[in-house]
């Protein structure tokens, strides 16, 4: 087995970080919205797991498609085979990181008593997004505060919007 290229390593890292942020945010938005409607623990678990599975497969498929298209362009440009990124490696990194990120809001919404589900989920997701933002910033060598603010803002807006909709619908 050959050592992964720098391009492949970067592709995996990008897919992993972005996949985890998307997994955290997308799943949190779904479970908080469903919780806002007053759903039972079993419905919250179902909603969270369906989002985790569907999102992981969607992210993996999207990453595979994206990296495959980029690889096709690189091949057309004459890039040597040993320097090409692996679509399967990026897809696996994206899918697994989405699933790992999605576990945070799923567990946060189903484990606490009813009265604490939404606040615990908001807190757990804020911490997870902050960690993901720091990781993204360090990998990209960009300012940490900007990356953390960006990830937390996106996740916060998504949760507030879906919780509000869930409350209105429920």
Mind listing the pLDDT tens digit for each residue in 133-164?
998 888 888 899 999 999 999 999 999 999 99
Instruction: Average the pLDDT over 64-81 and give the result.
Output: 91
Whether residue 64 contacts residue 88, with contact meaning beta carbons closer than 8 Å, is answered with yes
N-to-C CA span, the chain? 54
Residue whose C-alpha is closest to residue 129's, from 161, 160, 107, 151 = 151
Assess whether pLDDT exceeds 80 at residue 13: no
Q: pLDDT confidence of 15, banded at 50, 70, 90?
A: confident
How open is the CA angle 9-14-18, to the nearest 5 degrees? 150
Q: What is the DSSP string of 26-88?
A: HHHHHHHHHHHTT--HHHHHHHHHHHHHHHHHHHHHHHHHHHHHHHHHHHHTT--GGGPPPHH
pTM of the model: 0.89
Percent of the residues in the chain that have a pLDDT greater than 90, as a whole number = 75
At 141, which helix (H) or strand (E)? none
């Amino acid at each position: 087995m050959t050592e992964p290229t720098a391009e492949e390593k970067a592709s995996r890292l990008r897919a992993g970080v972005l996949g985890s942020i998307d997994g955290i945010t997308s799943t949190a938005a779904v479970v908080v919205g469903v919780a806002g409607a007053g759903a039972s623990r079993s419905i919250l678990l179902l909603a969270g797991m369906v989002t985790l599975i569907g999102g992981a497969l969607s992210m993996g498929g999207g990453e595979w498609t994206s990296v495959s298209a980029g690889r096709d362009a690189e091949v057309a440009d004459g890039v040597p085979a040993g320097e090409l990124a692996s679509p399967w490696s990026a897809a696996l990194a994206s899918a697994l990181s989405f699933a790992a990120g999605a576990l945070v809001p799923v567990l946060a919404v189903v484990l606490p008593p009813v009265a604490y589900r939404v606040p615990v989920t908001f807190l757990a997701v804020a911490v997870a997004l902050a960690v993901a933002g720091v990781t993204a910033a360090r990998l990209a060598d960009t300012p940490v505060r900007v990356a953390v603010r960006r990830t937390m803002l996106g996740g916060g807006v998504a949760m507030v919007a879906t919780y509000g909709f869930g409350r209105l619908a429920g």
